[in-house]
Chain A
Amino acid sequence: MEWPILTWIVFLPLLGCLVILLLDKTWHNAIRWTALIATSVDFILTIILFCKFDGSNTDMQFVVGPFPWIESLGVTFSLGVDGIAILLVILTPFLTAIAIASTWTSITEKVKGFMISMLLLQTGMLGVFVATDLFLFYIFWEVMLIPMYFMIGIWGGGRKIYAAVKFVLFTMFGSLLMLLAIIKLYVMTSPDPLLRTTDLMTILNMKITPDLQVWLFLAFALAFAIKVPLFPFHTWLPDAHVEAPTAGSVILAGVLLKMGTYGFLRFCLPLFPDATLQFVPLISILSLIGITYGALISMVQKDVKSLVAYSSVAHLGFVMLGMFALTTQGVTGSILQMINHGIATGALFFLVGVIYERRHTRLISDFGGIAHVMPLYATIFMIVTLASIGLPGTNGFVGEFLILLGTFKANPVYAVIGTAGIVLAAVYMLWMVQRVFFGKCDKEENRKMADMNCREAFIALPIVIMIFWIGIYPKTFIDKIEPSVKKVIETVKSKALAGDEAAFEVYNSSFENAREKGKSE
């Protein structure tokens, strides 16, 4: 049997957790290093995965299982990765490693609990991206909430309890309805309870009537839309992002939000193609509102961190817009933009954390002219900002360009409105940079701030490399994802077109009969 690399990638952080549990809680450095090493090794494993990944193959690769897990509920343990997930799988340990490294001096209390939460979170996130069984997916999806909740609630600042509870309740609300939809799909796989399964591959081959698709689509979409977050479900995001500790914000913005967009692409589109086509206008319009609204709200923020938080609403709006264009460029750009946003916004939160540690404030008005005292910091901040607003040569440009290109093909009006959003993004980001970094350094406290130290610079280095790599030579990544994207779009279109009503009727009536039988038993 082949070495199950995916299982290792998912559960290696859990192993790190067990090691940390054995360490004394006062050995802060040992705990930090264990966590960092576990994540880094995990990252190296994902790079190996990436190199061995065959981009032209559109099926699931490195498949683990399906092993029977809970037989009486038809649950299997099955993992697999394809072009849609591969980049997200690499992004997760990449950002987690950065997040852990950023806590060296900012998290000094209850280090053990923090690192355990961090690693549990990592297992949960990786599991979400590689699970190919709906039950397994749901377990990872929900389990991941708990460590994030603790992270915001214990190590957060300000209104941390409010933010943590709001975060949990919002996400739970969506996911519980998704759970019902999963159960419905499971019940539909077979009239015989013993033959039912939650395996994704089986469910993908199932025919679902368009009426039912609409309901199931809505149940899934609500869970994902809250996570993304799509306007108007975004209200938890600013609270959670602002109150979370730096490392938590990096993970929240960098990876957690992508679980929503990933969910749309993995489940909603291929499972419910008819409903997808039906909901394209609604979701596109909500994305456009999100893009504009996020940008406008960002513009008036006084706090750098909440500015970055609101900018996520706008960026994720682009991702959703590209995805629901249902063109190859649009969806490819959308996946690439997930990664770009993860890197850029993750980096911005990290950079905000750097000055917060020095000054214990994040208000724009408390800064000004700090480029004079922190030149290295200012340079890196500038690069990340430019990536975030999509300057050519940086990663943001490639993603946004592809998204707009794809959207233009599908619906030029959407593309035009979306482009306006890019202009707005430039306004709020550059305006903030100007007020924080340039002008006179007239505050006494700011003059004494030290520039980035070696550790911080070392954290920023891979981020800068990735920004330019994706910006200048995106082919490395696009080659791996494009075939899978084409397949998804093909599935959606062909399945929706082949809506053979007669076949549905026959299938459904036989199912109804069987169910009646089961009831009368």
Chain B
Amino acid sequence: MGFNWTIIAPEIAVLVTGFVILVSGLFLKKGRNSILTAVSFIGILVALGLTFKSFSLTDVSFQGIVIGDRIAFFFKIIFCLGTLLTIFAASTYVGRELKGLSEFYILVFFATFGMMVMASSTDLITIFLGLEVMSIPLYVLAGIYRKRLRSREASMKYFFLGAFASGFFLYGIALIFGAYGSTNLIEISSRFSFAGGASTFLALAGIALILIGLGFKVAIAPFHMWAPDVYEGAPAPATAFMSAGPKAAGFAALFRIFTVFAPVLNDKFTSILWILCVLTMTWGNVLAISQKNIKRMLAYSSIAHAGYVMIALVVGGKTGFSAAMFYLLVYTIINIGAFAVIILFAGREEKFENISDYAGFGFRYPFAGIALTIFMLALAGIPATAGFVGKYKIFIAALNSGYIWLAVIGVINSLISVWYYIYVVVTMYMKPAEAEHPPAMAFSPTLLVAVLIALILTLQLGIFPESYLKFSDLAGEHVNLITVFQSIFNSM
């Protein structure tokens, strides 16, 4: 059992990029923002390339705490894509509002590193480390717009509640260690095959606490309270970043842990998940309706989307896993795309962040208007966009395993969501423009690239999703790969 460095090559690339920016940020003065963007871009491309190289890997290394399987591969693709889009969408904003603060990029890269660790580790302690490495930069990112009171408030709130959630997660690990004498998922999974003597109660309590800890990060009701305030207060690019990748990372860890513990998860636990799932979808969608601030609205919508992914979590297994991964990919693309347009529309100092400010924008900024329309329709799950295919796959998973009511509730929730997504489009195109002309939006080529990439992917995944679906199915096949590696612990 050696050290297979190729498994964690993408992580290393991301970390190195973070440090390069950290050091170069000290020396660069003039025009450093564009240089930092370029460095970030190259760094993320390298990480993406290394991830693709690791596709055929199936290996566990570093004393069985890191796994290289297609699930990790797929999630790393999601994170790289999310980071790439965030950097492009944020570049001009960072230069203008944050005076080219290099810390923004550094924090984004460190958080991405944390997410990757979360998705590829097979030990609860490593998952926790990944969680913290991801979360702490996010707390700072939320407060990086120091001039704004609300940004600082968001940061504090996020930090206090996040620290609290981490406590739950740690306590859960402790209980599980008490039940099985190990924190390693592979080792624990080997216990199920013979012993069966472990205390199920202790394990269930541990998993429940872990669910709370991670449920906080992915914003499932009733642990979602931080999301609206933080999304609203944080600067728009930071919100874009934290709404996509961290959610995927949290779900990656949840899925991994739940698949391992599937043998002890009884029907009661599934029905609790069922209730949380329905609560999350409904709560998010219903509260999103009355929001006036677009970032706050998208915060509630992100809660609702976490609910859709939870349908796949309830279903579990191969179909659930691949449906969830595909959905998270789709959601990352659409959501960051939507936020990119919001960054553009917000103007200087984020003056325009209420939905009512968008009156008449559809015709004033034709391209951005059409782009935001498509992103909103995609979030609502209208066909010919990626959002539809994602939901379709999740509903197939639900009906395939007989969760008919879950699917029906999901569908009704989609309908509710149409209402508030469409409202944005209504405001842009059908409400008369405000008399006071807002200042011309600063044209930004990088932002345009971000919107274009997201737009093309949204349509491509909506109309020709075959190759991506196949990838997610292939990744789903690795759902029980962990058990293959049990032997390394027996031989130790």
Contacts and interface: CB of A to CB of B under 8 A. Distances in A.
Interface of A: 69-73, 110, 138-139, 142-143, 145-146, 149-150, 153-154, 160-161, 164-165, 168-169, 172-173, 176-177, 179-180, 183-184, 186-187, 193, 515, 518-519, 521
Given A142-B388, A150-B429, A521-B318, 18 more contacts: A70-B389, A110-B363, A142-B382, A143-B384, A149-B422, A153-B429, A153-B430, A161-B430, A164-B430, A165-B422, A176-B414, A177-B408, A177-B411, A179-B395, A183-B396, A518-B400, A519-B317, A519-B401
Interface in B378-402: 382-384, 388-389, 392-393, 395-396, 399-402
Nearest to B316: A519
Contacts of B319: 193
17 contacts: A70-B464, A70-B465, A70-B469, A73-B396, A73-B469, A138-B383, A150-B429, A153-B426, A153-B429, A165-B426, A169-B415, A173-B415, A176-B415, A177-B411, A180-B407, A180-B411, A519-B317
Interface string B342-385: 00000000000000000000010000000000000100001110
A140 to B, nearest CB: 8
B410 to A, nearest CB: 9
A69 to B, nearest CB: 8
A169 B363 CA distance: 24
A359 to B, nearest CB: 25
Contacts, number: 92
B366 to A, nearest CB: 9
Given A168-B418, A521-B318, A186 B383 contact: no
A153 B399 CA distance: 36
A161 B464 CA distance: 33
Contacts of A164: 426, 430
Contacts of B419: 165, 169
B123 interface: no
Most buried by B among A72, A150, A179: A72
Interface string B451-492: 000000000000011100110010000000000000000000
Given A150-B429, A187-B400, A72 B469 contact: yes
Contacts of B377: 146
A156 B230 CA distance: 39
Contact of B422 (A72, A168, A173, A193): A168
Contacts of A71: 466, 470
B247 to A, nearest CB: 24
Contacts of A183: 392, 395-396, 399, 407
Nearest to B401: A519
A143 B392 CA distance: 15
B382 to A, nearest CB: 6
A300 B308 CA distance: 47
A110 B364 CA distance: 12
A462 to B, nearest CB: 32
Contacts of B392: 73, 179, 183
Interface in B268-311: none
A130 B429 CA distance: 32
Nearest to B418: A172
Interface of B: 317-319, 363, 377, 382-384, 388-389, 392-393, 395-396, 399-402, 404, 407-408, 411-412, 414-415, 418-419, 422-423, 426, 429-431, 464-466, 469-470, 473
B415 A160 contact: no
A161 B426 contact: yes
Chief secondary structure at chain A's binding surface:
helix
A163 B259 CA distance: 48
A179 B414 CA distance: 12
Contacts of A177: 408, 411
A31 to B, nearest CB: 15
Given A73-B393, A139-B384, A518-B400, A169 B418 contact: yes
A23 to B, nearest CB: 14
A143 B429 contact: no
Contacts of A72: 466, 469-470, 473
Contact of A180 (B399, B401, B402): B399
Contacts of A149: 422
A257 B202 CA distance: 60
A133 to B, nearest CB: 13
A71 B317 CA distance: 21
A183 B407 CA distance: 10
A176 B363 CA distance: 30
Nearest to B322: A72
A176 B411 contact: yes
Given A70-B465, A169-B419, A183-B392, A154 B429 contact: yes
Contacts of B473: 72
A164 B425 CA distance: 11
A173 B411 CA distance: 9
Contacts of A165: 419, 422-423, 426
Closest 6 CB pairs of A and B: A72-B469, A139-B383, A142-B383, A176-B411, A153-B430, A70-B466
Contacts of B317: 519, 521
Nearest to A179: B411
B209 to A, nearest CB: 28
Contacts of A143: 382-384
Most buried by A among B318, B418, B431: B418
A145 B408 CA distance: 22
A161 B318 CA distance: 44
A154 B430 CA distance: 5
A168 B429 CA distance: 16
Contacts of B411: 176-177, 179-180
Contacts of B426: 153, 161, 164-165
Contacts of A180: 395, 399, 404, 407-408, 411
Contacts of B418: 168-169, 172
Contacts of A154: 429-430
Contacts of B384: 139, 142-143
A317 to B, nearest CB: 27
A160 B418 CA distance: 18
Contacts of A138: 383
Contacts of A146: 377, 382
Most buried by B among A110, A142, A172, A177: A172
Contacts of A150: 429
B126 to A, nearest CB: 28
Contacts of A70: 389, 464-466, 469
Nearest to A185: B399
B408 to A, nearest CB: 7
B190 to A, nearest CB: 20
A171 to B, nearest CB: 10
A519 B315 CA distance: 9
Contacts of B404: 180
Contact of A186 (B396, B464, B465): B396
A181 to B, nearest CB: 10
Contacts of A153: 426, 429-430
Contacts of B469: 70, 72-73
A172 B382 CA distance: 9
B374 to A, nearest CB: 10
A85 B432 CA distance: 41
A518 B393 CA distance: 16
A149 B377 CA distance: 12
Nearest to B319: A193
Contacts of A110: 363
A164 B399 CA distance: 32
B88 to A, nearest CB: 25
A515 B400 CA distance: 8
Given A180-B399, A183-B399, A172 B430 contact: no
B396 A187 contact: yes
Contacts of B395: 179-180, 183
Contact of B399 (A169, A184, A521): A184
Most buried by A among B389, B393, B399, B469: B399
A187 B382 contact: no
A110 B407 CA distance: 40
